[in-house]
Amino acid sequence: MKHLTIALTLTLLVCSVALAHNGNTFLVPSVPDPASMVIDGLEDDWGWYPEEFAILPDQIESWGGQFVGTGPGGQGDDFQASYFMAWSLPPDNNFYFFTRVFDDTLKSEWGENMRNWWDDDGLKWGVDADHTGGPHGVTGGENGIEQTLNGYVLGVNMPFSAELGLDYGGILGEEDHPNGDWPGLPPYGYVGIELLPPNASHGSENVEFTWEIKTILFDSYDATGPEGPDNIIHQFVPDGVIGTTPRYTDFDAGSDTDQPSRNFYGHAGGILDSQADGDLQSDFITILTHNPDDFPQPTAVENTTWARIKGLQAAKGLIQ
């Protein structure tokens, strides 16, 4: 019955909101107890998450690089990722993200330099929180600032970097960003990590790592600082819609090979340049999957753990 209800909900919502810019629409469940979400890179606080909302490795495909055209899961053991996305009602009013990645070779040559995170194994996604579409600011100058008010780019680096937090530096140059990456740091943004094995570093093989993220989103982001007049914090509501598309970078091949040095991955049907343009992004519809009046009673959401998710992956032959 729950699956039928979700299908009907999606049908009704698609009829009432603008269709996805790239043709993909996803449902994003609500966090029943934001106070229980500890941003430490561990999955133990995601047991409430229903597995039908999860993006699993067989739904991840290459958007750029040597595996383009091989279809979902076509990259095999080279790179695998799964992720959860969620949102919370005000007053918490945050976006939540958890991903687990398996990578045959970890590459992060710029680990100590936040401004070069784009050049590592990493994660990046554009945010069009008010779903207005159009390009996001990715360069400095007057035009870049104007585009940043329309949408922006988030990024996060490899786990062994000394610099944590969400990176807003790819949006504008330092001259246009005088207060650094202020919205990607507490109390606005939080990042937790786990790296296995814990001593893995640049060049380590067969690694597993997580990113866990909690952050406010902006309908309009002012790079000048928290008091900037153009800051408008996005307010999450049931049946709202935001544009975004997480994109993974897998920095693999070296200069002595004829293969592309970087592969890019995301959900099946996504578009490589979606992090820079809201018109290329997917629609994520925020549906209320718990009853706030019943809290802290058990919700109607099926209990799921990452152990079960990994079991599903193993059953599908996606991991050993």
User: How many domains is the chain partitioned into structurally?
Assistant: 1
Q: 320 lies in a domain?
A: no
| C-alpha atoms less than 13 angstroms from C-alpha of 269 in its C-beta half-sphere | 12
Give me the amino acid identity at 170: G
Residue 112: the pLDDT is: 59
| C-alpha atoms less than 13 angstroms from C-alpha of 35 in its C-beta half-sphere | 3
* Residues 101, 83 contacting (CB under 8 angstroms): no
Q: How far is CA 209 from each of CA 77, 80, 122, 249, rounded to the nearest angstrom?
A: 15, 11, 11, 14
Q: Which domain holds residue 239?
A: 2-315
Cα–Cα distance, 314 to 319 (Å, whole number): 5
State the SS3 of 109-136. CCCCCHHHHHHCCEEEEEEECCCCCCEC
Residue 27: the pLDDT is: 92
* Residues 46, 305 contacting (CB under 8 angstroms): yes
Q: How far is CA 140 from each of CA 78, 166, 223, 225, rounded to the nearest angstrom?
A: 35, 19, 11, 16
Give me the amino acid identity at 23: G
Cα–Cα distance, 266 to 102 (Å, whole number): 14
78: helix, strand or coil: helix
CATH of the domain at 187: 2.60.40.1190
178: helix, strand or coil: coil
Q: Could you read off the pLDDT tens digit of each residue along the chain, which spans 320 residues?
A: 333 344 444 444 444 444 546 678 899 999 999 999 999 999 999 999 988 899 999 999 999 988 999 999 999 888 999 999 999 999 999 999 999 999 998 887 665 565 565 567 888 888 899 888 887 765 444 554 555 566 778 888 766 665 556 776 544 444 445 455 778 888 999 999 898 998 888 788 999 999 999 999 999 877 777 888 888 999 999 999 999 889 998 887 554 445 557 889 999 999 888 888 888 899 999 999 988 887 654 433 344 444 444 554 454 443 33
Which alpha helices (H) appear in 26-115, and where do they start and end?
none
Residue 293: the pLDDT is: 81
Q: 168 lies in a domain?
A: yes
- The enclosing H or E element of 310 equals helix 306-315
Long-range contacts of 137-142 (CB under 8 A, 24+ apart): 137/171, 137/172, 138/170, 138/171, 138/276, 139/172, 139/173, 140/172, 140/173, 140/175, 140/176, 141/173, 141/176
Q: 236 lies in a domain?
A: yes
Cα–Cα distance, 290 to 313 (Å, whole number): 27
Specify burial of residue 67 (Cβ count, 10 A radius: 0-12, 13-18, 19+). Answer: buried
Q: 250 lies in a domain?
A: yes
